[in-house]
Amino acid sequence: MRPTGIRHALRRANSMYTARGLRPQATSTSSIPRTSLKRATGTTMSARHYSLFNSPHPSKPPRYGQPHPSSHPHLVGETELTPGVPASEYERRRKNLMEYLGEGARVICMGGTVRLMSQSIFYRFRQSTDFYYLTGFTEPDATVILESAPSTPRGYKYTLFVPPKDMHDALWEGERAGVEGAIRIFGADEAHANTSLSSYLPGLLSVSSDQTVYAALPPKPSPSASSQPFHPPSPRRRSSLLKLFSASSTSELNPSDPPHLLLAAALSSEHAVPLEKPIQQLRMKKCPLELGMMKKAAQISSHAHTKVMRHAQAGKSERELEAVFEFECAMKGAERQAYVPVVASGANALVIHYTRNDCVLDPNDLVLIDAGCEYNMYTSDITRTFPVAGKFSQPQRDLYEAVLNAQKECIRRCTIEGNVSLSELHRASCGLLLEELRQIGFKLTVGDVERQLYPHFLSHHLGSDLHDCPTRDRNATLVEGNVISIEPGVYVPYDNKFPKAFHGLGIRIEDEVAFTKDGPLVLSANAPKEIADVEGACQGLLE
């Protein structure tokens, strides 16, 4: 049963973090406790406790808003805060960030919000990456505040604003960690109901000359400018926001203004500094624990790619292959897909981000599948191209080998000693493809490859986000702990400028590569890539 009632829709629509600049509609607040707890004093202020079920089964229904050792021992170990990650790792990340930002820094990082697919039907929630990196907290509509405090044992103050426990929401959506759980489970020094965040913002945004506020808003619904809602503020609100970030006091702030609107105004006025760049500077270097998560994600996806190759037959649909991939990933423990899979048969592969996946496989087609799962909030990103017939034709084989040779050489150059950058690797891939294609009959000059046959960039960082840490400079030297994709491709249009035998062929081969002191570590090595292995997988000789 889906919670599609009017009351539920209004409660979702009135969430302070999805208000998008509009004042919420009036609703009953009798079941919304305004709670606040402090770890340091042990004081409880207006705390109200709810228990939806007195169940004899301690794990069902779960007592918290995410997996916990008491309810999900198959996912979370006794010493872990989230699957595979101990609380000490999140403590290390927060400490590293505050030390990196320096004395006097304040961090305001808002978590993700629930997105609606249609009316009150919601998409499955996925936490904002930077917020999760600092807290491990996976419930929506939360905010973390970090404040420099060099004289304390921790070196900083850690405050969480979280959804309070609520009987109505517990009935429809399950229990939450609540304010108490934010302290007891997630280790916050202080915690408050997220409904009270606006009243705390004036003090947090009022800083002296030796202090800096770093702020991060929830992720945007879409990067497309045409998809952004436009809600012009009222004259009163516009006036109050301008006063707030002028030289005058923050006492002009109206606490009823939505927090995300206030932070957006602060960022646009340069009263605050975006958090993304400094936190992503730290996130880019993966620790051994993170590399282990990414390796597991890649292994699950590699297994699924092998199964798809075996399943493909003429007459089946691209969507069937997509379903096989998603099923195999789920059966191996993946939480979700890292992105919408590309399953492009035949000339559909000429469309770089083809995701309709609604055509039928022809016997002479190649299938380009770009798909990867997410495991414990770490993504994988793998592309393979294989023949529906189970064996490459000669033109398919020649073009595949050209791309494969260039890809393997790019991977070979992923060394710490090489002092390479993403831009240098991309330039190398263009030159390598140019030479490989000339050898199989393409009459090309310098620039032809990137202008027509290879229109995308070779690489991007990988991590908790698919295109991880986008603030990273492509010209920066890659170092130990960086994980990137290596994905050259060739897409031959129906153009007589190119040999006819290759018209309509699109081939991309993508692996995940970690920079280590021992050389490049290919996390996705289990996905068949050599011609003999790809044909063997298609023919059922590999499992």
User: Could you give phi then psi for residue 516, rounded to 5 degrees?
Assistant: -130, 165
Strand, coil or helix: 314: coil
Q: Is the pLDDT of residue 339 over 90?
A: yes
CA distance 237 to 246: 14
CA distance 136 to 82: 6
Average pLDDT for residues 107-134, to the nearest whole number?
A: 93
Contact 469, 450 (CB under 8 A): no
DSSP character string of 466-497: SS--TTS-TTSBP-TT-EEEE--EEE--S-TT
Domain assignments of the chain as residue spans, ordered by start: 78-219+251-279, 284-537
CA distance 136 to 127: 9
Amino acid at 76: V
The pLDDT of residue 263 is: 87
- Looking at the chain, the number of H-run helices and the number of E-run strands are 15, 23
What is the pLDDT confidence band of residue 266, given thresholds at 50, 70 and 90?
confident
Lowest mean pLDDT among 119-128, 296-305, 333-342, 343-352: 119-128
Pick the closest to residue 472 from 290, 413, 483 (CA basis).
483
DSSP 527: S
Place of tokens 């709670």: 35
CA distance 3 to 170: 12
Contact 376, 370 (CB under 8 A): no
* N-term to C-term CA, the chain: 39
User: Could you give phi then psi for residue 297, rounded to 5 degrees?
Assistant: -60, -40
Q: Nearest 5 degrees, angle CA 133-CA 134-CA 139?
A: 80
Lowest mean pLDDT among 112-116, 292-296, 314-318, 424-428: 112-116
Bridge-based pairing state of the strands 105-110 and 143-148: antiparallel
For 81-100, the pLDDT digits (tens) are 999 999 999 999 999 999 99
DSSP 317: B
Amino acid at 210: D
Average pLDDT, the chain: 87
Residues in the chain: 543
366-371 β-sheet, strand order: 342-345, 366-371, 382-387
Pick the closest to residue 179 from 46, 300, 347, 23 (CA basis).
46
User: Which conformational region is residue 48 in: left (phi greater than 0), alpha (psi within -120 to 50 degrees), or beta?
Assistant: beta
Amino acid at 409: E
The pLDDT of residue 134 is: 98
Place of tokens 């957006």: 264
Strands (E), 217-331: 273-274
Q: Is the pLDDT of residue 10 over 60?
A: no
CA distance 468 to 460: 7
Q: Which residues pair with 507 in a beta bridge?
A: 490
The pLDDT of residue 211 is: 84
Place of tokens 């007195």: 54
Q: Is the pLDDT of residue 77 over 70?
A: yes
For 13-26, the pLDDT digits (tens) are 444 333 333 333 33
Bridge-based pairing state of the strands 273-274 and 212-216: parallel
DSSP 124: P
Average pLDDT for residues 427-450, to the nearest whole number?
A: 96
Q: Is the pLDDT of residue 296 over 90?
A: yes
Lowest mean pLDDT among 211-215, 379-383, 437-441: 211-215
Q: Is the pLDDT of residue 456 over 60?
A: yes
Q: Which residues pair with 519 in a beta bridge?
A: 516
Task: Quote the pTM value.
Answer: 0.87
The pLDDT of residue 53 is: 54
The pLDDT of residue 4 is: 44
DSSP 162: E
CA distance 300 to 282: 27
Pick the closest to residue 396 from 529, 510, 507, 527 (CA basis).
507
Strand, coil or helix: 270: coil
The pLDDT of residue 112 is: 94
Please tell me which residue, 210 or 514, carries the higher pLDDT value: 514
The pLDDT of residue 65 is: 92
Contact 16, 197 (CB under 8 A): yes
Contact 319, 308 (CB under 8 A): no
Strand, coil or helix: 228: coil
The pLDDT of residue 110 is: 96
**Cα dihedral sign, 395-396-401-402:** positive
| Domain 284-537 coded CATH 3.90.230.10 | yes
CA distance 389 to 291: 36
For 225-238, the pLDDT digits (tens) are 665 554 444 444 44
Name the percent of the chain lying above pLDDT 70: 83
Comparing 78-219+251-279 with 284-537, is the CATH topology the same? Answer: no
CB-based contacts of 519, cutoff 8 Å, min separation 6: 414, 415
For 175-213, the pLDDT digits (tens) are 999 999 999 999 999 999 999 998 898 888 887 777 899
| Domain 78-219+251-279 coded CATH 3.40.350.10 | yes
